[in-house]
Chain A
Amino acid sequence: MTRLVVVGASLAGLRAVEAVRRDGFDGEVTLVGAEEHLPYDRPPLSKEYLAADESPDTRYREEETFAGDLDVELLLGTPASALDTAARTLTVGDRTVSYDGLVIATGAHARTLPGTEGIEGVHTVRTLDDAIALRAALRGGARRLTVVGAGFIGSEVASVGRKLGLEVTILEALETPLARAVGERMGRALTHLHRRRGTEVRTGVAVDEVVATDGRVRAVRLADGTEVATDVLVVGIGARPATDWLEGSGLTLDDGVVADETLAAAPGVYVAGDIARWPNALFTDVAEGTMRLEHWTSAAEQGGRAARHAVDPASAKPYETVPYFWSDWYDGRVQFVGIATGDHVEVVAGDDAEGGPFTAIYRAGGRIVGALAVDMPAEVMKYRRLIGKRQSWDDALELAEQRRQQRAERAQGASA
């Protein structure tokens, strides 16, 4: 094994090259990125980055770190366009790059509304350039912000909009926002967070057309004919894995690149981050099939894991994880661990009726499989351990009881 190539220069790609260097891999390492930018931290882009008075520097590492300590060749600014797994080569612009081991971590593209390309004032939030443009729009005298999609990105942008003093409306196609991510009841609970901060949430509505005047967005027309006037429109309707360039490569593409439990997609080829679809052995008993995550934590872990496997396939081990994501809404934080499928959700702390603070746990197959916390940062990680160890529902309820007692004791101590 002499040459590792990592395609995709975001978090998973960065962690890939760092992991093998830390392990002492002394072959050549090349990192290919579609954007001109050095790897940067994406989570802040839909959060504090948009509200900050000065543009924060979100780069993970300086250019010198790649050339120096990491000894990584950077090929930035041109996306990979083709892969030949038999010849073990990929095409980047007019270059052919050969590899012995390959990590694919090309991420995902923001979904857009058809027909809105080129309309001024319509934004997505995925890349640093997206965030720079949206930040300028939100702070450039806009009065009204409309967000299509009540998912996590849309909710974070709505939160920032309110913080900046804009009138904010969220338009959501589903009757219950986030039902797939956190379940129906918890989706309703999270919607309260918006309403109590003055964000209007309209559910079960379909966007018919984005209305523009002189090339600038003016309103959104809904299927029932009503118009929602707006100065800025943010489209937060999810992302699609960036796998177009792999058509015809022989890899199995199915909403991501399909891999085995060790993240292998073909001999010498491993996947990481938003494009990786793999069987997460921790949950295959309660949720059939494969899983694809778009979370910081799994991208970081998979990046390191995929690269280690790529340089030493004989050492490859199954990768299993308890998914974790967080989302910052207004002045609070939503945290979720595990998966949201199951037959029962129980609120074990606080009250979800008004949107929290609260903690809820999810049951499937007689064990705890998920936990959601709103503004209770001390709780959720304690359940993450139980989920990772496949502990029973009763164990989870016991922990919940312990935590209740601890909180009561502290409250008593504080008032004494």
Chain B
Amino acid sequence: MRIVVDWDRCTGMGMCESLAPDIFEVDDDGSLILHTEEVTQDQEAEVREAVAACPTEALSLEGPIET
């Protein structure tokens, strides 16, 4: 499963970072740093929460979890 960021929508609000800090981080200039694109099974729950929490709906998930 892969994280897809709609860069036109993302404004660096940071909810994703507060829910899944190993994966998302907001940089000093407000841009989003994606530490990894591929989502593991362990990360799935928190990544789904982060996707749902994005106020600009800039995050989505694509494809199945690699096992």
Contact = CB atoms under 8 A, between A and B. Distances in A.
Contacts of B52: 15, 300, 304
A314 interface: no
A410 B55 contact: no
A381 B55 contact: no
B9 to A, nearest CB: 11
A378 B27 contact: yes
A296 interface: yes
B14 A380 contact: yes
Interface in B1-40: 12-15, 17-18, 21, 25-30
Contacts of B25: 378
Contact of A381 (B14, B28, B29, B57): B14
A377 B28 contact: yes
Interface residues of A, number: 25
A333 interface: yes
B53 A381 contact: no
Contacts of A385: 18, 21
A301 interface: yes
Nearest to A383: B18
Interface string A323-344: 0101000000101010000000
Main secondary structure of the interface of B (DSSP, over half): loop
A392 interface: no
A377 B53 contact: no
Contacts of A290: none
Interface string A289-331: 0000000110011001000000000000000001010100000
Contact of B53 (A300, A376, A380, A382): A300
Contacts of B57: 60
A323 to B, nearest CB: 12
Contacts of A380: 14
Contacts of B12: 377
A410 B29 CA distance: 13
Nearest to B49: A301
A407 B28 CA distance: 9
Contact of B26 (A300, A304, A381, A388): A381
A416 B13 CA distance: 30
Contacts of B15: 297, 324, 381
B28 A296 contact: no
Interface string A19-32: 00000000000000
B26 A378 contact: yes
Contact of A43 (B14, B18, B27, B55): B55
Given A333-B30, A335-B13, 18 more contacts: A15-B52, A60-B57, A296-B55, A301-B53, A324-B18, A337-B18, A376-B28, A378-B26, A378-B27, A378-B28, A380-B14, A381-B15, A381-B21, A382-B17, A384-B14, A385-B18, A385-B21, A388-B18
23 contacts: A60-B57, A297-B53, A297-B55, A301-B53, A304-B52, A324-B15, A324-B18, A337-B18, A376-B28, A377-B12, A377-B27, A377-B30, A378-B25, A378-B30, A380-B14, A381-B15, A381-B17, A381-B21, A382-B17, A382-B18, A382-B21, A384-B18, A385-B18
